[in-house]
Structure 1
């Protein structure tokens, strides 16, 4: 039974071909088919998308990835599509250039994963948990963007633990044309030590930043006053730019022990995110989602924070892995949940904090086939909004079968 370490980065990175060794066309991919049951019908969900009205259970193809790549001594090309019941969509399309005998300095251009933190670039085909945390799905939906990136990893073995990446991207996301003349900058600095404590302990950590902008197409900006939002209508904000600034830190630990292999991963992100107001036409959790098109309504400037904690344990020499996770996303750090929806403070469902407790088990049937059973308990605090007077019933159970080739 092949167990791939979280520190075998090449196979698990979306921003890499299947191999940098010169090769003709290579075809790899994975298929995830699953059954889900929600606590209520028609809920908004970050576990594979919203449920249809009046439906609380479904079969679906979560991901159907087909990746084609080729490499020679100077370059590589990667092309990946995602085929599901919703159609076929382009996922990756990029060219990488490097020196003939070195991958120390690499240039990437095209559609690729933003080099921010750990979970964004980490492939869903190898991740223990069914989905990325809510905060990353909100701020960086579909994970990709169009642009160019420079990556540096020293050839010198003494410094091979270091990886540095800087990218310039459109900022409008995976499937959108850029709607302004400014570009966003993303940077990541990572450190990985593969074999500490006689090869039993593996350590990784790093920091990231995102510096971007959102063009305003409205006269009014909504600024926080500590208890909600006030309209800043002193001047026209049309054609001005709102800052989109993130900073993040991440940690990965794996310890191989007589009881199996124990892994702990954590990541934090905070900063400023321009958004809009939650409404009947826009589900609250998406009010702070990054824009794929220029927003036409009032911009809300929010200070946010979010994090996840992932724990997994492969039980002894069995094919079973126990899973537990906890993540939090607070789109507005400056308002108390109990004040959301209060008269005249202009807060909406887009300001509500959510936390998710996940737990389950995966079974590696063979080196390619894996079964995952996983339940997510989603909690929101009480507010004064009619729809959120109590915790909404939006837990989701997932039974997933994955085949990877």
Structure 2
């Protein structure tokens, strides 16, 4: 029943009911405008030194921490023919570039947009949806793994007409594939395609609906004489001197659905998104912790590639509590980096590693928004993995995380 429900949700051909990162603060003509937000938080983990997708790994001897999760400062300018966006992120880890792109368009219409620079990959719903408006503290594990930091460097063409077809959004991007903070390490470029539909005035203007689909077609360069392919019960090595410089396929397909309903119990928002495909990664090692062995890397992987077929999804539900400023939060996400092997088959005898383990997360909490600028969030994540034959993963590891966050947006 659960599988059938997910299939029904995701067979529809992207749309963002909310705020997109790939745009200035407004397209009204203006000189420099400064916006941004700050997220400061306290977190407590179930164990010390855990790997975590809730703001990054915990230090070896720490399970409690205060941190600046995001400190965004965005500057944009819009004129008759073009706009520019420049955004940085300042935290305890330093200052990093987030967005730096130029957009060109016709003076009488922005139906056709050309974007060049550093921008969010136009894939799915949650990648381009701003973290300053997202109800949940973090994106799902699968998207943090296959598209870490969300951005890349390249060029994009977008189409969103203002006539009777304004419910359609189409985007096509060519990017380096190595992420926003890295130089490309091979000559090939990756292609991203996105098609979405958005309807804002259904059921007497009480219902908003969006749905769409995305594709990603790229490669990862192999820098060794060997790579590993999945044989259904583990990995088989392919050894040949010609494998140096060979490019493995990196391919994703995704679908998403968003529903927002204004009802007598308060505003209800349901969001779901699925992504699957092929992801070249590496093996877990002393230098690469298990959960990120299947991650997309920003530099040339130094060790052998492991070619995995993966799948992941999330379901997000928010419910405003009556007509108050409180909202209940409930989420579930799952990421299986290797769909061809069960957890009890993962072990040292078949070349599998911690990079092949499936993780699922149940999240729940509450947010309070006293003004349009301030938001308090209390949120707990219960993370589960099945036992394997690996020494450190014989049973479910204790890696739950509680987050108390205060956000100010201007």
TM-score by structure 2 length? 0.95
Q: Return the match for 2:46 from 39, 45, 52.
A: 39
> Which residue of structure 1 lines up, in the alignment, with residue 379 of structure 2?
374
In the alignment of these two chains, the number of paired residues is 396
> Which residue of structure 2 lines up, in the alignment, with residue 134 of structure 1?
141
| Structure 1 residue 99 displacement after superposition | 0.1
> Which residue of structure 2 lines up, in the alignment, with residue 248 of structure 1?
254
Deviation by residue 1:292-330 (Cα, 9 ceiling, x = unmatched): 111121110000000000000011210000000000000
| Structure 1 residue 367 displacement after superposition | 1.1
> Which residue of structure 2 lines up, in the alignment, with residue 221 of structure 1?
227
In 1, are the aligned partners of 2:132 and 2:409 still within 8 Å (CA)?
yes
| Structure 1 residue 155 displacement after superposition | 2.1
Q: Return the match for 1:230 from 232, 236, 254.
A: 236
> Which residue of structure 2 lines up, in the alignment, with residue 171 of structure 1?
177
Cα distance in 2 between the residues matched to 1:315 and 1:336: 40
> Which residue of structure 2 lines up, in the alignment, with residue 271 of structure 1?
277
Q: Return the match for 1:353 from 345, 355, 358.
A: 358
Q: Return the match for 2:298 from 292, 302, 306.
A: 292
Q: Runs of 5+ in structure 1 lacking a partner?
A: 1-5
> Which residue of structure 2 lines up, in the alignment, with residue 59 of structure 1?
66
Equivalent position SS for 1:226? coil
> Which residue of structure 2 lines up, in the alignment, with residue 282 of structure 1?
288
| Structure 1 residue 235 displacement after superposition | 5.5
> Which residue of structure 2 lines up, in the alignment, with residue 334 of structure 1?
340
| Structure 1 residue 167 displacement after superposition | 0.2
Equivalent position SS for 1:138? helix
Deviation by residue 1:59-115 (Cα, 9 ceiling, x = unmatched): 000000000000001000000000001111100000000000101000000000000
Q: Return the match for 2:107 from 85, 90, 100.
A: 100
Q: Return the match for 2:216 from 210, 220, 226.
A: 210
In 2, are the aligned partners of 1:7 and 1:202 still within 8 Å (CA)?
no
In 1, are the aligned partners of 2:73 and 2:89 still within 8 Å (CA)?
yes
Cα distance in 1 between the residues matched to 2:370 and 2:169: 34
Cα distance in 1 between the residues matched to 2:17 and 2:338: 36
> Which residue of structure 2 lines up, in the alignment, with residue 154 of structure 1?
161
In 2, are the aligned partners of 1:7 and 1:194 still within 8 Å (CA)?
no
Deviation by residue 1:191-216 (Cα, 9 ceiling, x = unmatched): 00001000011100000000000111
**Change beyond 3 A, Cα 1:7–1:296:** closer
Equivalent position SS for 1:356? strand
In 1, are the aligned partners of 2:224 and 2:244 still within 8 Å (CA)?
yes
Q: Runs of 5+ in structure 2 lacking a partner?
A: 1-14
Q: Return the match for 1:365 from 365, 370, 381.
A: 370
> Which residue of structure 1 lines up, in the alignment, with residue 83 of structure 2?
76
In 2, are the aligned partners of 1:273 and 1:303 still within 8 Å (CA)?
yes
In 2, are the aligned partners of 1:43 and 1:50 still within 8 Å (CA)?
yes
Cα distance in 2 between the residues matched to 1:308 and 1:155: 31
Cα distance in 2 between the residues matched to 1:180 and 1:223: 22
Equivalent position SS for 1:236? helix
Aligned: 1:193 with 2:199: yes
Cα distance in 1 between the residues matched to 2:239 and 2:95: 44
Equivalent position SS for 1:135? helix
Deviation by residue 1:355-403 (Cα, 9 ceiling, x = unmatched): 0000000000211000000000000111000100010000000000000
| Structure 1 residue 342 displacement after superposition | 4.8
4+ long deviations beyond 6 Å: none
Cα distance in 2 between the residues matched to 1:347 and 1:260: 48
| Structure 1 residue 236 displacement after superposition | 2.8
Cα distance in 1 between the residues matched to 2:240 and 2:377: 54
| Structure 1 residue 223 displacement after superposition | 0.7
Cα distance in 1 between the residues matched to 2:304 and 2:149: 25
Cα distance in 2 between the residues matched to 1:254 and 1:15: 22
**Change beyond 3 A, Cα 1:206–1:95:** same
Cα distance in 1 between the residues matched to 2:406 and 2:90: 16
| Structure 1 residue 8 displacement after superposition | 5.5
**Change beyond 3 A, Cα 1:362–1:119:** same
In 1, are the aligned partners of 2:17 and 2:258 still within 8 Å (CA)?
no
CA RMSD of aligned residues (A): 1.0
**Change beyond 3 A, Cα 1:253–1:8:** closer
